[in-house]
A and B are shown apart, each in its own frame.
Chain A
Amino acid sequence: MFAHIFMYRLKCLLRDRETIFWTLIFPLLLAVFFNMAFSNLNNGETFKAIDIAVVDNEQYQEDQYFRSALNEVSQGYDRLFNLVVVSKDKAEQLLNDNLIAGYIVVETPLKLVVNKSGMNQSIIKNFLDNYIQTVSAVNSILTVNPSRQQELFNDLGNRRQYVKEVPGTKAEPNNVLLYFYTLIAMACFYGGFFGMREITDTQPNISPLAARINTAPVHKLKLFVYSMSASLLIHIVEMLVMLMFLRFAIRIDFGTKTGYVLLTTIVGSIAGNTFGAFISAIVKKSENIKVGILICVSMAGSFLAGMMYQNMKYIVAQKIPILSYLNPINLLTDAFYCLYYYDGFLRYTVNIGILLIFVIAFCLGIYFIIRRRKYASL
């Protein structure tokens, strides 16, 4: 009996293009979008030279050190600034037209004029501060030690990097990964579409197909479990396809614990499927409303787990820590990240443990809602 129900259920589900779209194609498309949007976040290509102007006044012409310092950073391929030397009126106009991030007026102290504050403006300010402070140091050295002028100027050129990065764990910290991990978690919970169908197709009061199936002399619980396992199989295979796509096409790093990553995905898939079935069993409204609730809950969960805006995860963890443990999508995301980031297994075990409690709760819920139903008429 198992083989019969299972096989036909499998065929039936595989022909449902809509569910396949939501559970497989949609997450894959999102992965491609993520990749397009985030591919630049982790490499240095993002920096573009900043457009600035300097006011061409007497002090600027006289201050040869400042001029050479400014020219030095405005030349070459990896320059900091695109510099124009213009009159005050022209600079003002460029600023108003937003063609420059700010302009510099050479006076004492140096003045920076901007019309908003942002990353580019602060880089300019930092450059100016640095120049002023170095000049101040040079002056105080020269008052004590005037003979060393030449060595001093030579020395100015070799700035050193004094900060060395030491990774906190063996894994290289990588923010973009988290987006993809939330995506996997979301895809797991979109498996809820399968679980939802299982309820729709086995509960006689919801669909005619289910009414027909229920006339068969098969134990109802067995019927449900058999066809649910067909759903699970398809979804787990889909999730594995997605993992392969992420790993080999988009080159997402999952760390070294591959076996655990697979285990997490499977637990996630089970959680998603049972979640969908649970929603479908508990909400006695139209199909559209059920789908709407499923999408809204999983989207809200993904949002809180940081899928659209990563810091959301940390805001939740700091402000409402309990919520981060009650959000299954966050638990799943966290489990993936723990595998990647931590050397130990403590946090991972906690996450998976709570997730399993969720699965058990969903299963019990489904069982108590759909058991022992009898229909006088359909």
Chain B
Amino acid sequence: MQVFKLCLKILKKNLPLMLMYISIFVVVSIIMTFATANEQQKENPFSQAKSNIAFISEENSPLIDGLKQELGKIANFVELPGKTDALQDALYFRVVTYILRIPEGFTESFMKGEDVQVEKTVVPNSYSNTYIDLTIDKYLNIARLYVQQMGDISQESLVRHLKRDLFNGASVELRTTANDSRNNIYLNYYYNYFPYALLYVLILGMAELMLVFNDSDLKKRNACSPLSSKNMNMQFMLANVMFTFVSWLIMVAFCFVLNFKSSFNMNTVYFIINSFVFAISGASMSFLIGNLVKSRGAIAAVSNVVTLGLSFISGVFVPQEFLGSFVLKIASFTPTYWFVRANNMIAGLTQFDFASMEHVLSGMLVQVCFALAFFAVAMVIAKKKRLS
């Protein structure tokens, strides 16, 4: 087992560097997992976490009070000084995400049926803001119905009517228990970040091994050793497989350490299977890259570009639903895309029969195909190199 031991030695020599990268990537993954999952929680309409808004009214009327009460159901009010730069700062540091200003004379014009608007200043693209917009629009649109159809209605009775109307709502039946789906969000995010760290480490380690073994002098020396080349290759492969397996295991173990009490369900099992399938395709991609690079500097360059590139276009950092269809088309030629896609599906699974698993399994199958393709290409290149 000389070759195998040599591989371990090489890996061990590179351990401090790899550990440094692994730890920073794992920390980043974990922080991102929790931060984005928490954000997701906030945006969860059925849990109704409140967003912070500033309500600045230049007048007082029952209509406005009613609106404020209605908004109070979905938002916390933060008192802010009315000066412009204080408001700019508040938005800039996200003390509030929404500043609502009711202009003077709004109620009077509104009650006359004139076309008036309230003003908002917002942090862009904040999802919770949409709810505030919708709530205001809903309140005022229904109020408008009353004003137009019952022209002489007083503000007080208008607000009473509105209050009663807006009390109604559809009932929602959430099929899985809330805790389960919450847990799945964490797992989903953690495993979505998986390719980022894992690919990086795999490329780094395997390319390093290949670099040593592809050195032509060393190759010549090895060729005259009494070991058969089959034996040597087997040992080399074994080392690579073990390296992949251990890296994968460490990453999966982290997930249990962080979230151990709620990791025991079927979804977790499939997350793990999927990540294992990805580890295989990642390993064979790294094997291909290892066959192509020629210097240590190039390893760092390629591993950074490949991991970050794949992560950005296939939905690791930016969720797939936010990516353009063109980008997703390109991404579908990478295993990461299929991995993330399968993850997102697994997170939504509540039943595990074949019919509901079909898309998940096909996603895994595509990854395996990628693994085979990468491996085949790598073999062809290796053969060509050997002959030249």
Tell me the A residues contacting B by CB distance below 8 Å: 18, 21-22, 26, 29-30, 33-34, 36-42, 45-46, 48, 95-98, 109-119, 121-122, 125-126, 128-130, 132-134, 136-138, 140-141, 144-145, 148, 151-152, 155-156, 159-169, 173-175, 288-289, 291-293, 296, 299-300, 303, 308-309, 311-312, 314-315, 317-318, 341-342, 344
Contact = CB atoms under 8 A, between A and B. Distances in A.
B312 A37 contact: yes
20 contacts: A33-B308, A39-B324, A42-B124, A46-B321, A98-B348, A98-B349, A109-B170, A114-B175, A129-B138, A129-B168, A134-B165, A137-B145, A145-B150, A152-B149, A168-B84, A288-B296, A296-B20, A309-B36, A309-B317, A341-B92
B46 A137 contact: no
A122 B46 contact: yes
B179 interface: no
B120 interface: yes
B146 interface: yes
A112 B170 contact: yes
Nearest to A41: B322
B334 interface: no
Contacts of A26: 301, 304-305
B262 interface: no
B144 interface: yes
Contacts of A140: 161, 164-165
Interface string B295-321: 011001100110011001100011001
Contacts, number: 257
B232 to A, nearest CB: 28
Contacts of A315: 35
Contact of A37 (B171, B173, B318, B350): B318
B174 A115 contact: yes
B71 to A, nearest CB: 12
A126 B318 contact: no
A358 to B, nearest CB: 22
Contacts of A293: 20
B154 interface: no
Given A48-B321, A114-B172, A303-B28, 18 more contacts: A33-B313, A42-B124, A46-B321, A96-B351, A115-B175, A129-B168, A132-B168, A140-B161, A152-B149, A160-B115, A161-B117, A161-B137, A164-B120, A165-B122, A174-B124, A289-B16, A308-B32, A342-B88
Interface string B135-172: 01110111011101110000000000110111011111
B288 interface: no
B137 A137 contact: no
B55 interface: no
Contact of B350 (A96, A141, A308): A96
A30 B317 CA distance: 13
Contacts of A34: 312
A118 B319 CA distance: 13
A69 B305 CA distance: 50
Assign chain B's interface to a size class: 35 or more
A341 B32 CA distance: 26
Contacts of A29: 305, 309
Contact of A289 (B17, B125, B321): B17
Nearest to B321: A46
B344 to A, nearest CB: 10
A300 B47 CA distance: 33
Given A41-B322, A115-B175, A162 B305 contact: no
B202 interface: no
Nearest to B93: A317
Contact of A173 (B45, B123, B309, B318): B123
Interface of B: 16-17, 20-21, 24, 28, 31-32, 35-36, 39, 43-47, 84-85, 87-88, 91-94, 99, 101, 115-125, 127, 131, 133-134, 136-138, 140-142, 144-146, 148-150, 161-162, 164-166, 168-176, 181, 184, 296-297, 300-301, 304-305, 308-309, 312-313, 317-318, 321-324, 327, 330, 345, 347-351, 355-356, 359
Nearest to B344: A98
B44 A163 contact: no
Contacts of A46: 321-322
Contact of A33 (B44, B124, B148, B309): B309
A110 B93 CA distance: 40
A164 B118 CA distance: 6
B168 A109 contact: yes
Nearest to A344: B85
Contacts of B330: 36
Contacts of A41: 125, 318, 322
B321 to A, nearest CB: 7
Contacts of B136: 162-163
B165 A136 contact: yes
Nearest to B99: A168
A110 B170 contact: yes
B262 to A, nearest CB: 16
A169 B86 CA distance: 12
A115 B120 CA distance: 34
A171 to B, nearest CB: 10
A132 B44 CA distance: 21
Nearest to A315: B35
Contacts of B317: 37, 308-309
Given A162-B137, A175-B125, A111 B170 contact: yes
A152 B92 CA distance: 43
B150 A116 contact: no
Nearest to A341: B92
A207 B351 CA distance: 63
Candidate in B101, B161, B322, B324 with the most chain A CB atoms within 10 angstroms: B324
Contact of B138 (A48, A133, A344): A133
A140 B145 CA distance: 11
A300 B24 CA distance: 8
B34 to A, nearest CB: 10
Contacts of B118: 162-164
Contacts of A36: 312-313, 323-324, 327, 330
A165 B121 contact: yes
A37 B313 contact: yes
Nearest to B310: A33
Contacts of B116: 162
Of all A-B residue pairs in the complex, the 9 with the closest CB atoms, nearest first, are A122-B45, A128-B170, A115-B175, A33-B312, A164-B117, A136-B165, A18-B297, A40-B324, A162-B140
B322 A116 contact: no
A341 B181 CA distance: 39
